[in-house]
Structure 1
């Protein structure tokens, strides 16, 4: 292996959505993300970057026709209390596909779906 500096400096996921307002309600409003960038700056955005704790997430609107298939991405979100977070998400109409459960490695984890059907694992550190 040669002494070559890494090419990538940072990586973060970008989700493509057919309903950007619904995705923002989920990731910004329910999970507590903070907008760090919006394009365009005024009017209806086509792309929004969010900071969630120490992580980053981009969300872009799909403009071309076609059916979105979101079965190849899973996001992991740490929360202070898994059960309380799932209760809050469920009360907001979020689909819960796996209830909070203790995991062999000591964390509690549940699974929910975002508005586009992406699986989001919600966990606390137990």
Structure 2
């Protein structure tokens, strides 16, 4: 599975997924100039980020904004949940749940990406 998120501000989304979570860019369209779509590698997974613009129409014809309710939750494995949360906090990212040990043995925290998507951080 290859998740693709639409974003109202691609630079902010890249700052979050590339800058704060350490994603590595593997694809950019177009190659020259400001991108409309970028793929980032996070560990062994990829995520696509597509820029929304007032004049673009999605192929599927469905409105992409406003989106209401809890649409998606991403789980990102990190080496150190606490250190990642501190990096996020310093970057102004909304922290929704501070790092907490869960009964099933994982340490989990939740943040919100620049478009309001829920991102669960946990360690492998």
- The answer, yes or no, to whether TM exceeds 0.5 is yes
Residue matched to 1:5? none
For 1:68 and 1:86, how far apart are their aligned partners in 2?
Answer: 28
For 2:84 and 2:75, how far apart are their aligned partners in 1?
Answer: 13
Runs of 5+ unmatched residues, structure 1: 1-10
Larger Cα-atom Rg: 1
For 1:33 and 1:110, how far apart are their aligned partners in 2?
Answer: 19
- Determine whether 1:72 maps to 2:36: no
Residue matched to 2:61? none
RMSD (CA atoms):
1.4
For 2:72 and 2:79, how far apart are their aligned partners in 1?
Answer: 23
Query: How many aligned residue pairs are there?
Result: 115
Runs of 5+ unmatched residues, structure 2: 56-63
For 2:114 and 2:30, how far apart are their aligned partners in 1?
Answer: 22
- Determine whether 1:85 maps to 2:84: yes
Q: Note the C-alpha offset of 1:35.
A: 0.5
Normalising by structure 1, report the TM-score.
Answer: 0.86
Normalising by structure 2, report the TM-score.
Answer: 0.87
